[in-house]
Structure 1
């Protein structure tokens, strides 16, 4: 079974989580977090138990990430083959939905677990835990899905999960006393005198001071991997106590809106990353209707009809069935347009077929048992008020029409989240179907855009800079593209300037004297409206009119959001300006041969690797040390302690007398199947047997120690083989691509027929590394800049590029495909720091290097590849290798020479 292919940002999030778990075993959670997230780690209230958060905005696929995280944390942190995982969700509706998905063979969530543990894994609800036979624990992976409310209570004796239960007698009877003693430190795990006094049966009298036979204690005994979904709901003292009672090995939180003071955000996904992977539709085309709700309703219905026509063309082109749906947020009962009245209006006034309209509220359950994705489903309009049922999915939702004010409407973000999700997580051929639509009752775009931005930022986990480019007025974009190109750029846009109303700022003469500031009278009171960028000095003038630290902080946040909107509107990509295409490198075996993409895999095909040589079998930097009855592994200078001999259950009796070298080789072969999948199974088994034999006989490592350290051994084998392949690839790359060291070199040339194109809206810059300084880069193609800090040499280089008279616009290049532009190397790809389009039409790759890296062999290889790319372009491309100073030539003159 093959799990759902992960998106790039999902894989990066999991890779970061794996790196954290490995580092935490050596440095502790605080040191590992500081090294990866670059900030302080909050250890409260779980002490040494790692507790980190993956921040994923609405529509980002938190559940599939959680499913992949279970085996990752079990392997990298807990070091167990058959973990116990407790998956906590915020409501019973989500619990039922998650449980059903994880129990359904073939479902992507279950497939992620089955890929690691086979179909023998057990997924169950709390009430089924006691039915799992004791021998299965520690032999099969067990995932328990529950609501956090099941464990969250002040008095542990008042909840069944904590209560003494004879159904768990058979589980506790066979457990060693030493393992039970671990429960002594778990809060509320022991039977108290008060428990015994309340027990009418008298059974508990003989258990005072001993662990209860309870469901919670049984889970705690196995130190579960804890997954906490919508973790912002679990940041209370009651929740913390409940989690402590479960004695987790580690805690992974997932949420779109973490509480900053009490959350260790390890990785934060941006809206641009979601859009680049076709998880959400962007932009949100916003239509404001000052005339009132009838115009908004009519506009939404018209949008639906036009979208459905586009969807039929898309389907005819073979891109799958879509039936665009409108989500109406009606008014409350007693107001002008409650749900029933709106339905009548749609039927009587707009002449919409009654079977196309359903009401979904707390009292009218029109969507129950309705499969909205079915081709024969007639529904095109869904009317609700507050919120739709939790867990309900609407794959074809495209249009939100809110008859309530966005500033006051509750749960509008839930409806907006439905509309943002892209059907099938796949970009459509008709450009209109790649956008979301919102029709609102508002006086002007600026007011509606700010209200919508507040919802996206405060409740859905998006960043201000992302939101700035997520919202576009309907008049600024052609509603229907011709669909001729999948990634067509929008036509140049001329928008009205962004204007923000600063209610907290008094309209004093000093404020009104600022450029772009006007006074607007609202309810007899003058209010300050600002258009255009707000500089540092202007911001200080605005803040001077505001009393109180809290109000000043609100104004600062408002200024930041306003400037983000302004920057997004001014960026060349937002204005529909195209960026010149960049050719990747290709190769031919001879002048008459076809042109093939030049990539590392092609080079590796020319490599022969002898994995049975002494150099391949020996694992440098891997050493096992015995300390009393505990083994430690020294892995490249980092010492990792293993569990004491004989502690706990381990699959296949690792640590016992029945383990054999062949069993360990089989485990390694299964664990390393993907990293070594370019070998046949016979080649893999022969190599792994040689490695294990070398450790046992040449290095004198006891088999029991090698088995206990199997996860570290597997990691070292993987890294060692990768290093051997890298060395072989370097030699082949110099021969075949760079025409060095003899051999038959390939004919390398740029492939102008398949160029890389920077597409507006496709710049998935990670949130943690974004530029957040005050200096503006007006020529940067996208509103956001990736991986740039204010100050320092690289920042100065970016300033020089932005100011250079030969540069039309430029991009801070991303280091991942397909949104970044890379050139092949022996290790993979080299992504130059900056990519520029010049006024004369040429394209330029510019790499800035600190002096300490100039003589690094791999850096030299990258410079050679860049120079080869420029030479082969026949004057259409240039490459610059820039440093602070080269042979006495300053950076500015180096740039002049490259771009001349």
Structure 2
């Protein structure tokens, strides 16, 4: 199996998770840590919403990832982060909850498959054991003590009300050994049965989980946000809860969204096929014929690319038929299949039916090694009625055909997800093969487009503000009716006609009346909004003469064509924005310079003092007091002494996981294995760690047992120390390479490496909402615009747009931070510099003009931005005139003018 390489946005999600887990220990509580982490990541701290029935500061957060974003892999990879940075233990119990039995079986299969990316992600946590619920009911203590144990189950399996599921709460002889030699504090936390003298503690799986304080992962969390579900989770005293969903609850019981991935980021990483090209047709047979024609066109493109070396591709059409109804003529699966075979001469073997009764896809999976994606499989059309089997993925699914109303939300959302997702697929040279297609039997395009966008929001997890650009019309005449898709960028000219008679508007439906007005004095009918063909028929019926009716038809035609003017952004018009990047010569070859670690620099730990600092010793002392219960607080309301969540958690985990047979060498070896520093040799790292531990153990009060108890904190202190030493070495190398006397021989700014802004991948974490004022930005590269950090920054954007109106700038973009596909950066020794604005200056037909990078800095931050000015200036000076850079303060717009 090919090696799985995580996408940039996935690495960023994991970075956010790690940052939150670390902050949970660095700040007074996980609730405060959540607000602080989101402030640091996104510039605006989100409030923490505790779950009712749980400790108020229990780590509880949500990762919002749209359909096709790889939620399961992120969950699996987060296990190691939870062990290392939150729980600070070698092994843990993970309770992994899924919404249904099919998803449970699929998840178990993947997590157990040693060659699957999900299992490999789990293995980052060390030895792992994956169990289903039946296996967990007889799990041994040795298994829990020697591996991270993942228990995969449906949420429903833990409901006390379910007869079968009560076994989770009943005593089992197979679990008795878990309850031997418990401390009084542990026994006091267990569930009991009976009352008074008859009260007993059942040796149940539920109590094993209470002892082990499981970290809970909730997949498709939007299906599990009921009071009953939360009560069930609370019974197990979780150490934390991680939700994964495309559509988090933001209102009733709001999820704490730590990181939100946008659909635009998935598009930039080639994880989904966007935009969705929509076409409506009232005649169902013509609609199906159009979809077949589109599939044939895509097939030809795929075969052409395959001859040039591209991977095999067979575009597949998913057809949603109508359910059968007694006594009603419906477009059910049999009628659709008959249409394909009889009128389009599609061979029967190319059609598969997947309904409650027909199990066509299961037969395909059984007959072909790679299922429907197998080159030997002939299937090109899949007919379904409601929904396909949960978890079914196929990168060949390109076209959705809906015979039923788009109001059938669940089915359409699921089928859309199948078409959008492209697991294992990659970017194609033909643009048509990087898009999805929807053909819907409908007379009203605008209504259908709106319904489709709703399905993308409610089902696929797209954000409302980004769906407008991700549903586009296949036909120009239908595009003109799609006002929602051009929100804020459409101008409609009223169409007035003189009639010889007064129309009877009382008989016209109100939605049509709202689009027209009658002026009796001038005998003029004015159409203020475009009329569809159906609406035109209603209005035509309001007059008696054929001349008046013909005039209405002509005016209505003008209202939806010539009377509509759309404003198109530079990205929509096909403009390109390419920004040259810094490149570094490595052994004579240029390569993209996006990480200072590629620099050659002397890096060895041996010259440095391998002893704990006073700060290290203070941190270890403070942590010991907490773990021994020394950190307490007083509740303001009751005056009672209360403990905090994390100290309680560390105490409980310390009681459960009792280390054995540790010595100084084994401890040093464990620390080396858990220090992820790839730039060091193992010998160098081991020598430094062994010397550090030896020095620590010579100090009063630091025994081997204590060092072992605090090994995760020691690991963090060592990691921070090594990271700081490496940063110093990198900084020196960075300064010499980029700013030394012969820097020009080592660094270049070349068109060979240029960052190109994807026309469909602009994904601001926050859009500008008018808080600093309103301005009609017309020369921004995209229709959306990222938020501004200050009023002065907003005013700078307004000034740039006005210069664009004057022709001094062709167009510009609000550069984003940490957003794949819409973030240009310049690498610094200690991070990345993202200029606020990038402007394309005028050029010629053959040669685009220079790129101007503009950074606005408040006067209070000017002194601290010296390294930004240096790297920006270097980038411009090495570009041979292709790039220009300016940093502005105090509204000195003339500094920008000097760069034109």
Normalised to the residue count of structure 1, the TM-score between the two structures is 0.82
The within-5 A match list for 1:768-779 is 769-773=766-770, 775-779=775-779
Partners of 1:3 and 1:112 within 8 A in 2:
no
The within-5 A match list for 1:155-194 is 159-183=166-190, 189-193=191-195
Confirm or deny that 1:728 pairs with 2:710: no
Separation in structure 2 between the aligned mates of residue 463 and residue 849 of structure 1, nearest angstrom:
30
CA deviation after TM superposition for structure 1 residue 168, in Å: 2.1
Separation in structure 2 between the aligned mates of residue 632 and residue 771 of structure 1, nearest angstrom:
47
CA deviation after TM superposition for structure 1 residue 726, in Å: 2.0
Size of the alignment, in residue pairs? 796
DSSP-derived class of the 1:755 partner: strand
Alignment CA distance shift 1:698-1:570 (3 Å): farther
CA deviation after TM superposition for structure 1 residue 753, in Å: 2.8
Q: Report what 2:411 is aligned to.
A: 411
Q: 1:666 aligns with which of 658, 666, 669?
A: 669
Alignment CA distance shift 1:130-1:615 (3 Å): closer
Separation in structure 2 between the aligned mates of residue 633 and residue 279 of structure 1, nearest angstrom:
49
CA deviation after TM superposition for structure 1 residue 466, in Å: 1.4
Q: Report what 1:788 is aligned to.
A: 788
Partners of 1:469 and 1:568 within 8 A in 2:
no
Separation in structure 2 between the aligned mates of residue 132 and residue 20 of structure 1, nearest angstrom:
31
Confirm or deny that 1:221 pairs with 2:211: yes
CA deviation after TM superposition for structure 1 residue 265, in Å: 1.5
Partners of 1:517 and 1:528 within 8 A in 2:
no
CA deviation after TM superposition for structure 1 residue 802, in Å: 2.1
DSSP-derived class of the 2:816 partner: coil
Q: Report what 2:267 is aligned to.
A: 275
Per-residue displacement from partner, 1:488-534 (whole Å, max 9, x unpaired)? xxxxx995264369xxxxxxxxxxx9977999999622347789xxx
Per-residue displacement from partner, 1:411-455 (whole Å, max 9, x unpaired)? 111000000012414212222111101001122432221111111
The within-5 A match list for 1:343-492 is 343-370=337-364, 371-408=371-408, 410-475=410-475
Partners of 1:124 and 1:144 within 8 A in 2:
yes
DSSP-derived class of the 2:137 partner: helix
Per-residue displacement from partner, 1:13-49 (whole Å, max 9, x unpaired)? 2221222222223331321122233222111312232
Per-residue displacement from partner, 1:48-90 (whole Å, max 9, x unpaired)? 3222111111111111111112221122222211111111111
Per-residue displacement from partner, 1:324-346 (whole Å, max 9, x unpaired)? 11000011203331001110111
CA deviation after TM superposition for structure 1 residue 94, in Å: 0.7
DSSP-derived class of the 1:167 partner: helix
Q: 2:621 aligns with which of 616, 622, 625?
A: 625
Q: 1:305 aligns with which of 296, 315, 318?
A: 296
Per-residue displacement from partner, 1:260-294 (whole Å, max 9, x unpaired)? 1312112111110111111100111111113x211
Confirm or deny that 1:316 pairs with 2:311: no
Per-residue displacement from partner, 1:754-802 (whole Å, max 9, x unpaired)? 322223113343x3x333335442222123333535x522222222222
Q: 2:71 aligns with which of 56, 62, 66?
A: 62
The within-5 A match list for 1:502-513 is none
Q: 1:127 aligns with which of 130, 134, 146?
A: 134
Confirm or deny that 1:526 pairs with 2:508: no
Alignment CA distance shift 1:57-1:569 (3 Å): farther
CA deviation after TM superposition for structure 1 residue 4, in Å: 2.9
Q: 1:75 aligns with which of 70, 75, 84?
A: 84
DSSP-derived class of the 1:807 partner: coil
CA deviation after TM superposition for structure 1 residue 254, in Å: 0.9
Alignment CA distance shift 1:438-1:663 (3 Å): same
DSSP-derived class of the 1:460 partner: coil
The runs of 5 or more residues in structure 1 that have no matched partner are 184-188, 194-204, 477-492, 502-512, 532-541, 543-565
Q: Report what 1:108 is aligned to.
A: 117
Partners of 1:329 and 1:402 within 8 A in 2:
yes
Confirm or deny that 1:325 pairs with 2:328: no
Per-residue displacement from partner, 1:166-203 (whole Å, max 9, x unpaired)? 332233235444322222xxxxx21124xxxxxxxxxx
Alignment CA distance shift 1:21-1:598 (3 Å): closer
Partners of 1:428 and 1:434 within 8 A in 2:
yes
DSSP-derived class of the 2:801 partner: helix
Partners of 2:133 and 2:151 within 8 A in 1:
yes
Partners of 2:158 and 2:165 within 8 A in 1:
no
Separation in structure 2 between the aligned mates of residue 682 and residue 283 of structure 1, nearest angstrom:
52
Q: Report what 1:286 is aligned to.
A: 278
Separation in structure 1 between the aligned mates of residue 32 and residue 609 of structure 2, nearest angstrom:
36
Separation in structure 2 between the aligned mates of residue 690 and residue 530 of structure 1, nearest angstrom:
82
Separation in structure 2 between the aligned mates of residue 803 and residue 671 of structure 1, nearest angstrom:
55
Partners of 1:618 and 1:694 within 8 A in 2:
no
Deviating more after overlay: 302-311 vs 797-806: 797-806
Separation in structure 2 between the aligned mates of residue 699 and residue 855 of structure 1, nearest angstrom:
45
Alignment CA distance shift 1:215-1:777 (3 Å): same
Q: Report what 1:810 is aligned to.
A: 812
Partners of 1:571 and 1:780 within 8 A in 2:
yes
Confirm or deny that 1:141 pairs with 2:148: yes
Separation in structure 2 between the aligned mates of residue 419 and residue 116 of structure 1, nearest angstrom:
34
Partners of 2:605 and 2:685 within 8 A in 1:
no
Normalised to the residue count of structure 2, the TM-score between the two structures is 0.82
Partners of 1:101 and 1:107 within 8 A in 2:
yes
Alignment CA distance shift 1:93-1:598 (3 Å): closer
CA deviation after TM superposition for structure 1 residue 893, in Å: 2.2
Q: Report what 1:87 is aligned to.
A: 96
CA deviation after TM superposition for structure 1 residue 361, in Å: 0.6
Partners of 1:49 and 1:249 within 8 A in 2:
yes
Separation in structure 1 between the aligned mates of residue 11 and residue 383 of structure 2, nearest angstrom:
37
Partners of 1:134 and 1:171 within 8 A in 2:
yes
Alignment CA distance shift 1:69-1:585 (3 Å): closer
Q: Report what 2:711 is aligned to.
A: 710
Partners of 1:762 and 1:819 within 8 A in 2:
yes
Partners of 2:758 and 2:821 within 8 A in 1:
no
Q: Report what 1:607 is aligned to.
A: 602
Q: Report what 2:850 is aligned to.
A: 842
Q: Report what 2:550 is aligned to.
A: none
Partners of 1:632 and 1:639 within 8 A in 2:
no
Separation in structure 1 between the aligned mates of residue 153 and residue 103 of structure 2, nearest angstrom:
9
Separation in structure 2 between the aligned mates of residue 632 and residue 411 of structure 1, nearest angstrom:
53
Separation in structure 2 between the aligned mates of residue 259 and residue 589 of structure 1, nearest angstrom:
49
The runs of 5 or more residues in structure 2 that have no matched partner are 39-44, 365-370, 486-490, 497-502, 517-528, 530-563, 632-643, 844-848
Separation in structure 2 between the aligned mates of residue 397 and residue 691 of structure 1, nearest angstrom:
57
Separation in structure 2 between the aligned mates of residue 439 and residue 252 of structure 1, nearest angstrom:
38
Per-residue displacement from partner, 1:218-251 (whole Å, max 9, x unpaired)? 1221110101111112121211111111111111
Q: 2:883 aligns with which of 877, 884, 887?
A: 877
Q: Report what 1:582 is aligned to.
A: 579
Alignment CA distance shift 1:79-1:603 (3 Å): closer
Partners of 2:610 and 2:692 within 8 A in 1:
no
Partners of 2:841 and 2:850 within 8 A in 1:
yes
CA deviation after TM superposition for structure 1 residue 818, in Å: 6.0
Separation in structure 2 between the aligned mates of residue 413 and residue 589 of structure 1, nearest angstrom:
49
CA deviation after TM superposition for structure 1 residue 751, in Å: 1.2
Alignment CA distance shift 1:272-1:645 (3 Å): closer
Q: Report what 2:569 is aligned to.
A: 571
Separation in structure 1 between the aligned mates of residue 621 and residue 566 of structure 2, nearest angstrom:
57
